[in-house]
Amino acid sequence: MPFNHPQFEATIGLEIHAQLTTSKKLFCFCSTAYGAEPNASTCPVCTAQPGALPVLNQEAVDLAILAGVALNCKINNTSVFSRKNYFYPDLPKGYQISQFDKPLCSDGHVDIYLNDTTVRINIERIHMEEDAGQSQHHHYGTLINLNRASTPLVEIVSRPEITGAQEAAAYMREVKNILVYAGVNDGNLQEGSLRCDANVSIRPKGQVKLGTRTEIKNVNSFRFLEKAIDYEIARQIQVVVAGGRVVQETRGYDSAKNVTYSMRSKEDAHDYRYFPEPDLLPLLVDQARIDKVSSNMVELPSVRAARYAKDYELPQSITATITSSRALADYYDKLVSIVGDGKLSANWVVGQVLRALKESSPENAAENIEAESAVDPGQLISTERLAELLSLIKEGLINNNIAKTVFDELLTSTASAKEIVSKKGLAQVSDTSLIDKAIDGVLMRCADQVAEYRSGKDKVFGFLVGQVMRELKGKANPTIINDMLKKKL
Ligand code: ZN
Ligand code: MN
């Protein structure tokens, strides 16, 4: 939803840093595994010892190409690594090897589905770069951990055309989803595998020139990104309305207080003294290599969603939800292959399975991740067990409401759906003589409502169905009740 203010509009551009799923660093053979002892995964190259030289990790290049293809980018045959110079304790070389004027990928886009509309967000460029190390601040001083130094990243830079916080978060979620589908990123925001800088500015409606922007640094949560941007837009409007000027600066987000705060005045590109990295040749990527990498492309979420819509006639709101995580979409595909009913399976996956997933992981629910890729719904309930339950519905043995009760039981017990239904006597009453008896009882007892119905008050019908269902303890087939009741009336 675009941000809505009577006088001002917001413009947002995102820079998403995504860690590539290589086991080795970008310019040396150190491990990228998360959680190693501090400085255990280091060597003379990534700690910048004199004379050490970088060697480019070709697997990282292929993954970066795959990211570019997945995000609809043009892959440039020649790209160049540059030195981005700045001084910081966790950057031992005194510069970061990145790409500047000649990035690996350019001109891509992502379509996001938000509030029943599809919005296209254009991507300006994707470049490769190495990560910096980490400063760990303690009361006795600051310690440096260089395990993360030189971890391979892609930086995905959107065009400044996002119009609100919700749209920004939806875009970041979709980028994450696509990268996880493609196997380029592990989607682990908590471990910092995906983090985002947001450039935010406001301007009076109708003004062509963009306002002065601030940059919110290193947000690694969809929820916090949304809150930080909302806060920052409101803050900038307040500054301008009070007659002040927005200062170009880098800001942090304090999630505990839900505020952004000034960190430092923002550098311009020329402050970084970029120049081509003399220790690395230009990166040449020919079409054969791009084709080879593209041939490994999986079915991406938008393609899958279109397939579901076509094959099972599902609405976009449902296909978008199912494909919002690869684990969920894979689960759905497997379920349909057993049950043979795309619609019934979809109803259960976006209904009960998602509910159970959210309850099992309140953290993900708060993050508004439809289903975290790390959580496989198969761990809650296997597709085989759920398929058996759905087959009981299809056979008319139980109705939907009873099935929900059985589903909850399946989550905690090892019994099968059939066993639960027979043990608890939940099988549906389809013995028409029993239903017939129940209907007669209700018609007698509710003579007033029957009279109302006959005088044209159709609404009363639902009430009467409910009464019959109650007589039968909720175990009857509602369609049969409907038909029989109509006939009798
Ligand atoms: Zn190393
Ligand atoms: Mn960067």
DSSP secondary structure string for all residues of 449-477: HHHHHHTT-TTHHHHHHHHHHHHTTT-B-
322 CA from centroid of ligand 2 (Å) = 32
- Residues linked to residue 78 through DSSP beta bridges, in sequence order: 284
Specify whether the CB–CB gap between 446 and 464 falls below 8 A: yes
CA dist 318 and 332 (Å) reads 12
> Block means of pLDDT (10 residues each) for the chain, length 489 residues?
78 98 97 94 96 97 98 98 95 96 98 91 98 94 96 98 96 95 92 94 94 94 94 96 94 94 81 95 97 94 95 94 91 96 96 89 58 68 95 86 92 91 74 82 87 86 87 78 83
Ligand nearest to the Cα of 126, by number: 2
Residue 273 Cα to chain centre, angstroms = 36
Ligand nearest to the Cα of 39, by number: 1
CA distances from 450 to 139, 434, 485 (A): 78, 20, 11
Helices 432-445 and 478-488, axial angle in degrees (round to 10): 50
Ligand nearest to the Cα of 84, by number: 2
Quote the pLDDT of residue 481: 83
Quote the pLDDT of residue 68: 98
Specify whether the CB–CB gap between 151 and 19 falls below 8 A: yes
135 CA from centroid of ligand 1 (Å) = 18
Specify whether the CB–CB gap between 85 and 272 falls below 8 A: yes
25 CA from centroid of ligand 1 (Å) = 7
Exposure b/e, 326-336, CB count within 10 A at least 16 = b: bbbbbbbbbbb
Rg (CA), the chain: 29
120 CA from centroid of ligand 2 (Å) = 23
**Amino acid occupying residue 29:** F
Quote the pLDDT of residue 365: 59
Q: What is the 8-class DSSP label of residue 36?
A: P
Q: Which two tokens stand for residue 408?
A: 């909850």
Spell out the long-range contacts of 267-272 with Cβ–Cβ below 8 A and sequence spacing 24 or more.
267/86, 269/100, 271/86, 272/84, 272/85, 272/86
380 CA from centroid of ligand 2 (Å) = 38
Handedness of CA 356, 361, 365, 370 (dihedral sign): negative
Quote the pLDDT of residue 372: 45
CA dist 131 and 152 (Å) reads 6
126 CA from centroid of ligand 1 (Å) = 24
pTM of the model: 0.84
215 CA from centroid of ligand 2 (Å) = 13
Spell out the long-range contacts of 457-463 with Cβ–Cβ below 8 A and sequence spacing 24 or more.
461/485, 461/486, 461/489
Of residues 172, 153, 176, 146, the one with CA closest to residue 42 = 146
30 CA from centroid of ligand 1 (Å) = 4
Helix (H/G/I), strand (E/B), else coil: 344: helix
Alpha helices in 217-374 (DSSP H): 222-241, 287-294, 301-312, 316-322, 326-339, 342-348, 354-360, 362-366
Quote the pLDDT of residue 75: 98
Ligand nearest to the Cα of 54, by number: 1
CA dist 44 and 239 (Å) reads 48
49 CA from centroid of ligand 1 (Å) = 10
Q: Which two tokens stand for residue 427?
A: 């099988």
CA dist 126 and 67 (Å) reads 8
Ligand nearest to the Cα of 155, by number: 2
Cβ-based neighbour number of residue 459 at 10 Å:
9
Ligand nearest to the Cα of 41, by number: 1
